[in-house]
Amino acid sequence: MKRKNCSLTITHLYPALMNIYGDIGNIISLVRRCEWRGIKVFIKNINLNDTLPKGPDIYFMGGGQDDDQIRVFYDLQNKKKDLIKQIEKGVSFLGICGAYQLLGKYFLTGDGKRIEGIGLLDVETRAPDKEVKSRCIGNVIARLNWDVFDLEKTLIETIVGFENHSGQTYLGRDVKPLAYVEKGFGNNIEDNTEGCVYKNLIGTYLHGSFLPKNPHIADWLILKALKRKYGGKFKLKKLEDKEELSAHDFILKNKR
């Protein structure tokens, strides 16, 4: 299929509630990187009480404030059956921070309250121990876990972003880490892992926005969606990425 005939639908979950630290920039990045390659893009916003679309290609869900995340949590219970089915079939998904937590098994609060997630990801999140006095906050540099990417390696071996979370997330056996932390915290303060990968889904704590500074991850999501939708061997046209890589390298150069 010629690229000019290709199109992708990006579904933005809860854009009004889950959109802090510039998370909308991830949608902009996906759209622009498709358009620059002649791929048509359609955006579908899904809010509280909406039903999930049929035939989505890429999902995105950002982070939110605690009260908003609780509202989203209850709404997701009505959508989780369809959402899990779609992800199991290979639909691409990027979940940032609060979204990443809500896709897991549960969040255990500091007072012992267990908030159930939708159970899509084999991850568990707990409030930090009392001796952990500060949040995990600041710029993050992490080296990609190439074992989970079945695409050709790029020259960009790192991901960068900004984290701000107190929850400590631990990975189970059914997911793999997205990357290994060189600066910052990532999933927790113990094991130096950042984010996770499951099928064509990426969960991460990195805001900032994440994709504009990490164009190789945006292209991974796009390419996975194209291959799933159209089959065959797609190869994305290379983009200049001068500004994107400048932002990426700025964080690398100021890591110490």
Active site residue 216: no
Distance CA 205, CA 198 (A): 15
Catalytic residue among 12, 207, 216, 248: 207
The structure tokens listed for 139 are 């710029």
89: number of Cβ within 10 Å: 10
Catalytic residue among 6, 12, 34, 97: 97
Q: Please tell me whether the peptide bond between 209 and the residue prior to it is cis, using omega within 30 degrees of 0.
A: yes
* Residue 80 parent element (H or E): helix 80-88
Q: Give, as one character, the DSSP assignment of residue 121.
A: S
| Residues acting as catalytic residues | 97, 207
